Amino acid sequence: MARGREPAHDGGMTRHFRDRADAGRHLAARLEHLRGREGLIVLGLPRGGVVVAAEVAHELAAPLDVLVVRKLGFPGHEELALGAVATGGAIVINDDVLAVAGLDEAELQRQATARLAVVQEMEQRLRGDRPPLDLAGRPVVLVDDGLATGATMRVAAVASRRAGASEVVVAAPVASPEGVRSLEGLTDDIICVDVPVHLRAVGLSYRDFTAVGEDEVRRLLQSF
């Protein structure tokens, strides 16, 4: 069950955040109960989620790290998530989309293997020589700039559990009801600022949704 969410309402009245940093401050206010939690780690999903997560980590006085997750796109419509993969080999598939795609197991595995290679390369670029934080036995807050289908965040939750996280909290400024429901049972809590009934696109909840570059992500990680 999502804690601290505003009542869901029609997408035409969705809250508009100024930018990701502004959204991160609003989200941090909903996570204040986690301040002081022993061993707490904040993980941002790149690239936009890291900007939101940096504000959350700053307000909660917690270390910040990155968890790299990439979508598996529907053939010919890459913006539609067939599923997602994360470092460590975690894979989550949207069964409904897979049924429409008609991919066989061999093709699905080929796509997943290719995307995992991309994940590993991106993680190296963003972290450089900095080792990943050890999640074993520690509570984790997973942050993204929005949840549409929830596929990306689901694989992040699976990857965090595999890495030994003692508690997994998902947090996002905006989410669809479907995205929230898809995460129930995988997390200990789901915290969102806004859950509109009809979320047409995450970017429509922001006045400024400019793409975030890898240089900005590296700068934010290095500032903690």
What's the rounded Cα separation, in Å, for the pair 40 and 75? 38
**pTM score, two decimals?**
0.84
What residues does each domain of the chain span? Answer: 11-67+134-222
First-to-last alpha carbon distance for the chain, in angstroms, is 31
| pLDDT given for residue 71 in this prediction | 79
Contact 178, 151 (CB under 8 A): no
E strands within 25-76? 41-44, 64-66, 69-74
Which residues are registered as beta bridge partners of 86? 69, 90
11-67+134-222: CATH, from 3.90.245.10, 3.40.50.2000, 3.40.50.2020, 3.10.270.10: 3.40.50.2020
Kindly report, residue by residue over 73-128, the tens digit of the pLDDT.
Answer: 666 655 566 777 887 777 877 666 666 666 667 777 787 888 889 888 999 899 88
What's the rounded Cα separation, in Å, for the pair 38 and 34? 9
| pLDDT given for residue 81 in this prediction | 64
Kindly report, residue by residue over 1-58, the tens digit of the pLDDT.
Answer: 444 444 333 444 456 899 999 999 999 999 999 999 999 999 999 999 999 999 999 9
Q: Which amino acid is at 213?
A: G
